[in-house]
Structure 1
């Protein structure tokens, strides 16, 4: 059913600074760095972007924005940025500029040669996080893979959220059946493995997370934060500290309390239908509550009180982040998060978990292949939602065989630093490729091995609609942006690059809508992402909505619904009985593994966890002085007790050692972390890239401590949190 008519046109709010108003013109845009996708106002002096400010009238972000968009203004004009096509003329990192025609012809010839001799299976795609927010790149990237016959795409999912996807499959029968926490209407929120007041959005598109959590408190509810660190989120609400990697013990303890309560049956019946409740309750009964508490480093009473809070709450959600995924029991942890809500009747219910709704929703109508039905060719790492773990790429390149990867298209990725199977292992493998091409803003630690490096546009230089994040919104809205400045130098949109290469290869364009492509071809034109977005809008649930209308008449966006609807999460579930599955095969196998897992001995007394710093975004924002000023110091955070045990003081360099490697890092002694934990910022270890500022800070790569072979079984997650380590004092 079509939604209500569109509201009347709106206008951008003026800048409060009269000098800024006099010297610049304003235009609407939005941020495409993280899932929040905040509304912005770009201030222009001619064709130059001067600054961006939060749009106070934007229906989605309501005046919020962090400092990353302004940092990206700096990076847009960064002299270290790649702004012309480059060809490698020597060892890795040695490039010379060439023309676009020369670069595209070279990519066409080399990719065609590999494809003709070894077949399309010899070409693979390596995709990172930034492309997720590039609507044209997402759509045309799919078309490019289809045109070339690329069947293997390696992604960062196994360092990010693959375990959440496999949990969706275990519970709801489909990796794409994605639950969203109804933050604005719940009475109780348990945040685990996430720091939303700093990262802002994780697997939801909600810039107003602090306001949503504060509103829970204002309604008389509670917000509980489970984390080994006292993060800014934990500091604002009720903090429960646990040992890293012990989340399933904590969650199973809470489940046990709920299952053994007098209210258990009545609670479970108020939400969506569930299957396997009795079997799960029997499983939970076999766990000892004191043992659960001891393993996660808390006490029995805490587990009891958390369980009782869920029993008493009128509605409740569990909000999990990347920290719940990139650990040894990532799938199990995510399954148990939703199990708590299923046991208390909070699935597909107002104030509980709901499914997204959007004007454009790219979610497949039917489930795709089951997770793990395809695997990486050498190490057998599971493909999840069409993405193979980047940690398996090195072996798939180097291991002999007709089906080995010989050519690679690298799109906004830096797996040498971000992947659990990156580092020197991947560096060596990349040098064995017959050919590789890369699209990015900078030469980085991964694409420095490419044969051709192509300059991509920043978000300010391209038109976009939030095609991938619309169904993550908790308050559905629609908005769009044109490019606010011309591309710097010779940068080009990624969709155009994909389209041009596939055309030159004689394989047709990369537009995924072949009807649109044929119509454009008939009039002697090339289809554009804006045209495809209009077709997607026309086929969606909102009448009379076009890209041009949004940009011209609705620069502050349009509110489509107050909240997401009930019934979409569990309606027509593709499970064996149409119910939420509480006793899945995945749960049973992982619980068995959990019971038999033995923590390493006293040789490894500490547990490593990652840390996203304020303003950081994986590896690629470190060159911005606004975010990383000259006085920034890279450091591992440790508790005073552990520093004293090691015989070191604040600021000292120490060696962190795991079974897989070691790093030397300065420490900062803090009181925001529990004893026995060391926290190292992720995404560092810059060397050899074009970003001179990033290189100068001297940070090290914490993934050097991670085993490329020790992975979570179901989702293939790299184990980045809870890694056993020891800290050694360096010789004077």
Structure 2
């Protein structure tokens, strides 16, 4: 299509492609995005943009995106109308639960759900309609250890402190590479710029990572720890603080319990005791601890590399213990709790219900639930194993567990044996190809956007909302309507009209207001829900729900109680967002533990520490290799491999290995190597680099686009290999149920060597994509 500047306009959009949530200014011709740049007036991102945001037009216009529902007929996925698709669901799922019970339906939620407005608003309504406990999400492949440790320490699994990047003097960063990931569980546009600003103002950055990542290259000190030993290192740092009398919780002193018990719990984890296991000398450990304690302000921040390991919950717990012991939790320049505009308004400090683990267990292996979820690693066995409450049907919302979970081959086979499966997904991918019904949401430009989850993790309090930049294409449904209709369909309703869809949102509004007017701490206590409902504004049900949450939130106008407060209309009047100020101390109002205090040594943590002590004695041979993953700036898990603008360059699936290990194994740069572990083997091109420590190899996550029956033409042309196929799903962090994805023992052997003239034999490409049959 030729460029037509006379038909060009601009529109604002918050980027949904990573956790940085940058503001974008889109250039649009007709209904097509022709350009994207950072919104310089955005109150949060101030014009920052990364390659993902710049390529949003390619994602929008990807010809492989599904534009109409698919329904399986005679074993073949066939284009169908929306009414056909929802009627198929309404016929199948209620009949299945009637015969086999509610637990026969499982739900899988993928990472993209937290990047869309609909994905935040409707899954809880769907789960309520299904009344199933068979919930599996990407959290047990990522951040669940942090939810568990926060729940145990503070009483609330979503009370996650974030580093105050703009004001800290000292940042200790473990298992994170924000120059590639843009941050995670720490929403910070231009994370690289914030780290550089820290250095410019004389601050200190220490990065703990087995790879010399782009982030590590920026640091004052890079500690190339042995993978999987983060908890040991953190325990040793904690030990030094006690041993050298460097602890000073400061303002938190009156809000903590268990200080002496923590001191005793880490008594054996001396720097000398952990040095061998971590491969970090004791003097360095002591220096890091002393610098942390001496800094005017400091923050410890750990992410996926310290979560997806054998002691992920212990590592996550110790991150906050260190922040507490140095007086840096809940103070400016340290780690603070954000307060989002849609959070529950602060209440008087009081003891709460606390946080419990293992309220139920998985049917086959008895894995305890964590935060209401079962390990996604257990999904295949829950489908395959006969018996009562066997999962016979699955609803998959924006997830691709065949690539993201351990042992995708087994899960692939299990999905093929389901009685019924629904996928809400814009692509026919490695998972959705098994569905009986596929419901495709519209492109990002055609969707409204509000960051419910990421505002609660932001390094500065702010609020932004963007309406769709482009009207819905004919024949598409808004994602909110898709999920609302799905709620109706699983309840057995066929032929739902617009009024029935609106009733889903109206039901949620009524529930929330009924609860609010009964709450003596609410600004609407004692008022009429009907009167309040009539005051809500918004073009759609989701907007009315957003208006409700803004009004009753911590900055809200409270339906007249605080006339200058937030409403949807006020937010719409500020298209670049509203700045709500820097993070501020919030303890004790965030605490909901039974004691009303920070419980420094929760029972489940204490019970898991013997396992960490056992790790002190573990030693690996000099030739042992450990596998870790890695992030790519131009990728996000398996989402974006079908976008041509983001393929190639550094965004490739290679096995990174240190030259000394490669020489020992006879591997050459560009040759092929076979990597094997518990779950199987994969073959990948070799990339020699001194940026990874000896004894460690690295493969990126989210690749393996070689299965038949998908419609991912760009990804299939450069499929890579599925690193998670090396795992059999048996390695889990026991407290959180999180799959151990890093620090995995592997063997590496030569597959194809480079010929003397430097030619590498060509690797066969994947078969062309086809529509799957039965």
Q: Please report the TM-score for the alignment, with normalisation by the length of structure 2.
A: 0.86
Residues 427 and 368 from structure 1, CA distance in 2 versus in 1: closer, same or farther, beyond 3 angstroms? farther
Q: String of CA shifts for 1:479-500, please: whole Å, max 9, x gaps.
A: 1111111334633233212322
Query: Given the superposition, is the C-alpha separation of residues 221 and 526 from structure 1 closer, same or farther in structure 2, using an over 3 Å criterion?
Result: closer
Which secondary structure state, in structure 2, belongs to the residue aligned with residue 42 of structure 1? strand
Q: Please say which of residues 232-241 and 657-666 is displaced more in the overlay.
A: 657-666
- Distance in 2 separating the partners of 1:514 and 1:62: 34
State yes or no: 1:661 paired with 2:673.
no
Correspondence 1:493 to 2:493: no
Q: Confirm or deny that 1:478 pairs with 2:497.
A: no
Query: Would the alpha carbon gap of residues 363 and 199 (structure 1) be closer, same or farther in structure 2, given more than 3 Å must change?
Result: farther
Question: Does the alignment pair 1:236 with 2:222?
Answer: no
Q: Distance between the aligned counterparts of 1:78 and 1:35, measured in 2?
A: 22
RMSD between aligned alpha carbons? Answer: 2.6
Q: Map Cα deviations across residues 289-338 of structure 1 (whole Å, 9 max, x no partner).
A: 22212211111111011011012112111111111110000001111111
Match of 1:74 in 2: 58
Aligned counterpart, 1:533: 546
Residue pair 2:170, 2:203 contacting (<8 A) in 1 also? yes
- Say which is worse superposed, 39-48 or 642-651, in terms of deviation: 39-48
Structure 2 CA distance for partners of 1:514 and 1:285, relative to 1, 3 Å: closer
Asked if 1:87 corresponds to 2:68, the answer is no
In structure 1, which of residues 574, 580, 583 is the aligned counterpart of residue 592 of structure 2?
Answer: 574
2:762 aligned residue: none
Q: Which runs of 5+ in 1 are unaligned?
A: 1-18
Deviation at 1:339, TM superposition (A): 1.3
* 1:587 pairs with one of 600, 605, 611: 605
Aligned counterpart, 2:39: 55
Aligned partner of 2:508 in structure 1 is 513
**CA–CA distance in structure 2, aligned partners of residues 364 and 457 of structure 1:** 36
| Alignment correspondent of 2:642 | 623
Question: Aligned partners of 2:301 and 2:270: how far apart in 1?
Answer: 25
5+ residue gaps in structure 2?
494-499, 513-528, 558-564, 754-774
Would the alpha carbon gap of residues 451 and 362 (structure 1) be closer, same or farther in structure 2, given more than 3 Å must change? farther
Cα pair 1:176 1:364 within 8 Å, conserved: no
Q: Structure 1 514/482 Cα, relative in aligned 2: closer, same or farther at 3 Å?
A: closer
1:600 Cα shift?
Answer: 7.0
1:101-145, CA deviations, whole angstroms, 9 ceiling, x for partnerless residues? 111111111112112222332222111011112222321222122
Offset of 1:20 from its aligned partner?
8.8
Aligned partner of 2:106 in structure 1 is 124
- Cα distance, 1:177 vs structure 2: 2.2
2:648 & 2:471 partners in 1: Cα distance?
Answer: 28
Equivalent runs, 1:397-412 vs 2, <5 Å? 397-412=383-398
The 1:572/1:31 distance shift into structure 2, 3 A limit, reads closer
| Residues 180 and 353, structure 1, Cα contact 8 Å, conserved in 2 | yes
3-state SS of 1:513 partner? helix
Q: CA deviation at 1:581?
A: 2.5
CA 1:123–1:510: 2 relative to 1, 3 Å: farther
Which residue in the other structure is 1:457 paired with? Answer: 442
- Cα distance per residue 1:178-226 (max 9 Å; x no partner): 2122222221100101011221121022103223323322332211100
Aligned residue for 1:65? 49
Kindly provide the CA deviation profile for residues 575-629 of structure 1, in whole angstroms up to 9, marking residues without a partner as x: 3543322322233222200222464754971000001112111101001111104
Q: Quick check: 1:654–1:666 contact (8 Å CA) kept in 2?
A: yes
* Whole-angstrom distance in 1 between the partners of 2:309 and 2:681: 19
**Residue 707 of structure 1 is aligned with which of 721, 728, 732?**
728
SS of the aligned residue for 1:681 comes to coil
The reply to whether residue 337 of structure 1 matches residue 350 of structure 2 is: no
Q: 1:633 to 1:37 in 2, by over 3 A?
A: closer
Matched position secondary structure for 2:158:
coil
The secondary structure found in structure 2 opposite 1:626 is helix
Contact 1:603–1:726 (Cα < 8 Å) also in 2: no
* CA 1:127–1:367: 2 relative to 1, 3 Å: farther
Is 1:370 aligned to residue 351 of structure 2?
Answer: no
Contact 1:416 1:427 in 2 (8 A): yes
| 1:347-384, Cα deviation, whole Å (9 max, x unpaired) | 22222221111111269996576222222221222322
Worse overlay, 287-296 or 507-516? 507-516
Partner in structure 2 of residue 3 of structure 1: none
Q: Which residue does 1:390 correspond to in 2? A: 376
Match for residue 694 of structure 1 among 715, 722, 725: 715
Distance in 2 between residues matched to 1:514 and 1:121, nearest whole Å: 27
Aligned residue among 676, 690, 694 for 2:695? 676
Q: Residues 657-697 of structure 1, C-alpha deviation per residue, up to 9 Å, x if partnerless? A: 21332111111001111101101011001123210110111
2:703–2:720 contact (8 Å) kept in structure 1: yes
Determine if the alignment matches structure 1 residue 646 to structure 2 residue 665.
yes
After superposition, residues 275-424 of structure 1 pair within 5 angstroms as 275-361=257-343, 370-420=356-406, 422-424=407-409
- Change in Cα spacing, 1:663 to 1:629, as seen in structure 2 (3 Å) is closer
Equivalent pair of 2:207/2:222 in contact (CA under 8 Å)? yes
- State the shift of 1:527 in Å: 5.8
The Cα offsets for residues 541-581 of structure 1, whole Å up to 9 and x where unpaired, read as: 33343334433x312111112x122124x436333543322
Q: CA deviation at 1:21?
A: 6.7
Residue 257 in 1 paired to residue 240 in 2? yes
Q: Which whole-Å CA distance do the structure 2 matches of 1:415 and 1:601 have between them?
A: 31
Q: In 2, Cα distance between the equivalents of 1:183 and 1:657?
A: 40
Partner residue, 2:521: none
**Using the alignment, how far apart are the partners of 1:150 and 1:548 within structure 2?**
37
SS of residue paired to 2:739: coil
Report the Cα offset of residue 263 of structure 1.
3.5
1:84, 1:455 within 8 Å by CA — same for their partners in 2?
A: yes
The alignment status of 1:216 with 2:198, answered yes or no, reads yes
CA contact (8 A) 1:174 1:367 kept: no
Equivalent position of 2:562 in the other structure: none
- 2:574 corresponds to: 554
Counterpart residue number, 1:271: 252
The CA distance in 2 between the partners of 1:723 and 1:489, in whole Å, is 48
- Specify the SS of the correspondent of 1:560: strand
Q: Rate the CA distance shift 1:21–1:235 in 2: closer, same or farther, 3 A.
A: farther
SS in 2 for 1:566: coil
